[in-house]
Amino acid sequence: MTPEIINLIFPNPLPTPAEIEAKYPARQLPDGAKVTRVAPSPTGFMHIGGIYAALLSERVAHQSGGKFYLRIEDTDQKRKVDGAVELISNSLGRYGIHADEGVDKDGHDFGPYAPYTQSQRKEIYQAYAKSLLEKGMAYPCFCAAEDLDIMRKIQEKTSVRPGYYGKYAKCRNLTDEQVLENLRAGKPFVLRFKSMGDNNKRLIVKDLIKGDLALPENDIDVIIMKGDGLPTYHFAHAVDDHLMGTTHVTRGDEWISSVPLHIQLFVALGWKAPKYAHFAPLQKSENGNKRKLSKRHDPEANIMYFWEKGYPENALIEYLLNLINASFEDWRRNNPDKNAFDFPVNFNKISNAAGALFDFVKLNSISKEVIAKMSAEQVFESVLKWATEYNTPFAERLKNNRDYVIQILNIERNIGKKSRKDLTKWEDVEGDLTYFFDDLFTTTKTEKLAILAPLSESDIRTIAQEFSAVYQPTEDKDTWFAHIKEIAEKHGFATDMKAYKENPTAFKGNVSDVAKVLRVLITGRDKTPDLYQIMQILGVDKVKARLSV
RNA sequence: GACCCUAUCAUCUAACGGUUAGGAUACGGCCCUCUCAAGGCCGGUACACGGGUUCAAAUCCCGUUAGGGUCGCCA
């Protein structure tokens, strides 16, 4: 390329690569420190896979004493959405995934390698594109998108490998005169990388997760700079990850086939390529097949789904950690009280399988464990925070009944292994509270009698009245239960389960049927947590009122 | 179509040439028990298939099959 051509392509002054390198010197980090990044596109959609990737990268970096940063990949201006950066930043923050450098929720840069938003790095990419042009490793291409479509169709029809390479790379061999002519005519153009690769040769790439990969060399003259002057992903990846000192690139395995190209780019630019770690994306089971969790079809692909349902952030983190390294659950068993972020994530232990199915059953189980370990106060605060955003009337009720609700949440809580595990997400809480509030307690007498069938209404009334007469709110649990037993015995219910089981017809029922009468009258349900505690919290007046039928 | 990756219980996975193929979740049973949940104990279920190599294969090699991915001026 003649200087004249290059000046026509880049008429404005650009920094030289040397100037850029001087501005962004290499990092000074201890041996073994890894530098990773998460590099989402601001599309306004936060995929759960993005959290997975960020978590993995962040852990790997920080556990090695390195750096983790956030880069916004917005080179596709068409897909850019307002508020997307804020969403990304908030999402990461919510899960405790903190970047050392990058962009905050307002889009402000922080860190020595700023700007971290690709659209603001245009000059940098152009400077390197220009140097490639000067070295004869890139060239302008004037093929229109429609021409390329036609070419691709012909290639498909004739069963030729599609792409801009070899004899199909028409603009690769344009003479300087032809290029000048096109440029002077103002023809739109892109910049292509002049590939020296041979598709028949294999490149062995060491992937930290997948192991050795034998990939065909890249021989396609990919576009490195688009018509709008912004780089494509591939070129931006090479430039940014070099300048920002990324040592380990963790990304989805859909990028594997681009690795030869990327390595070529690093070589062409005279840089050392980072180490790659390609992980399989989260999958979804459908009709017996697995497929990638899809933004369009699967609500749970959107991280907001978990916010709406009220899954504790910790639960999701623990679940994802469990997918990253299955040894997490052993670690958790041995370290029940440690922060999940203390778990040592290990590249070598990442499954290299086809991709894990996102499993709600497992998530729920983990979530129950996480919530069971929290104090009633912590649960209350979390539920309140959730409700404030997703259920305002409920939030009001919580605020007005703080101590009362905490007492309720404290039933069978903090008793070690045997703690209640019936809450999987904050959304569940409201339904469990209904019978503690008179205005929400709407079970009718008919409904209660139906649950209690076949016991007669007069039997029910007798049991309720007799219990009501002896119930003392100050009594301890044993006394409380002794009352129930007395009533049971008096009316022909078994108090000894073994006796009842041996000869059920000799009794009207057993003591649990008597308790059930009280339970249903007081709560409208036949399944509740500890009735004694419920009565304690409800208070003697409410208890007796509900028992008077 | 070409190329790449992958293949162990229902699910996530352990195993790195020699194990009664282990764990967790889910499921079933029993115990405990005022119901439920929890907890305790017990249980069933897996090396995709076919060839090799080897004294020995889930593990190594080849093929088949199945699944996933890539082949854009999207990332």
* Residue where a domain stops, chosen among A319, A347, A372: A372
ipTM score over 0.85, yes or no: yes
Within A211-268, where are the H helices?
A: 233-243, 259-268
Residue A420 lies in a domain: yes
d(CA A371, CA A293): 26
Lowest mean pLDDT among A100-104, A126-130, A327-331: A327-331
Query: Do A362 and A378 lie in a common domain?
Result: no
Q: How many other β-carbons are positioned within 10 Å of the β-carbon of residue A509?
A: 19
Name the residue range of residue A421's domain: 374-433
- pLDDT for position A284: 85
d(CA A54, CA A99): 9
Nearest nucleotide relative to A232: CA against C1':
B73
Residue A97 lies in a domain: no
CA–C1' gap, A281 and B56, in angstroms: 38
Please state the domain count of chain A. 4
CA–C1' gap, A432 and B75, in angstroms: 44
Residues 202-231 of A with CB under 7 A from strand B: 202, 210-211, 213-216, 223, 226-228, 230
Collect all residues with Cβ–Cβ distance below 8 Å to A127 and sequence separation of at least 6: A14, A15, A16, A17, A20
Q: Is the CB of A322 under 7 A from strand B?
A: yes
Residue A191 lies in a domain: yes
Answer whether A467's CB lies under 8 Å from A487's CB.
yes
Answer whether A192's CB lies under 8 Å from A200's CB.
no
Q: Is the CB of A450 under 7 A from strand B?
A: no
Q: What angle separates helix A233-243 from helix A122-134, to the nearest 10 degrees?
A: 100
Phi, psi of A484 (to 5 degrees): -65, -40
Cα torsion at A182, A186, A187, A189 (round to 10°)?
Answer: 100
Give residue A285's region: left, alpha or beta (phi > 0; psi -120 to 50): beta
Query: Do A154 and A216 lie in a common domain?
Result: yes
Answer whether A76's CB lies under 8 Å from A236's CB.
no
Collect all residues with Cβ–Cβ distance below 8 Å to A411 and sequence separation of at least 6: A420, A529, A530, A533, A534, A537
d(CA A271, CA A243): 10
* Residue where a domain stops, chosen among A383, A403, A433: A433
Q: What is the 3-state secondary structure (H, E, C) of A325-362?
A: CCCHHHHHHHCCCCCHHHCCCCHHHCCCCCCCECCHHH
Query: Do A422 and A409 lie in a common domain?
Result: yes
How many angstroms from the chain centroid is the CA of residue A168?
42
d(CA A136, CA A138): 6
Confidence of residue A352 (pLDDT cuts 50, 70, 90): low
Q: What is the 3-state secondary structure (H, E, C) of A368-388?
A: HHHHHHCCHHHHHHHHHHHHH
Residues 258-277 of A with CB under 7 A from strand B: 258
pLDDT digits (tens, 9 = 90+) for A444-480: 888 888 888 788 888 889 999 999 999 988 999 999 9
CA–C1' gap, A362 and B33, in angstroms: 27
Q: Residue for token digits 């605020």?
A: A399
CATH of the domain at A305: 1.10.1160.10
pLDDT digits (tens, 9 = 90+) for A380-397: 999 999 999 999 999 999
CA–C1' gap, A539 and B37, in angstroms: 23
pLDDT digits (tens, 9 = 90+) for A121-172: 999 999 999 999 999 999 999 999 999 999 999 998 888 999 999 999 999 9
Measure CA to C1' and name the residue nearest B5. A354
Coil, strand or helix: which one is A406?
helix
Query: Do A365 and A300 lie in a common domain?
Result: yes
Query: Do A132 and A272 lie in a common domain?
Result: yes
Measure CA to C1' and name the residue nearest B68. A354
What per-residue string of b and e applies to A256-290 under the rule 16 or more CB within 10 Å gives b? bebbbbbbbbbebbeeebbbbbbbbbbbbeeeeee
Residue A350 lies in a domain: yes
Confidence check: pLDDT of A55 > 90: yes
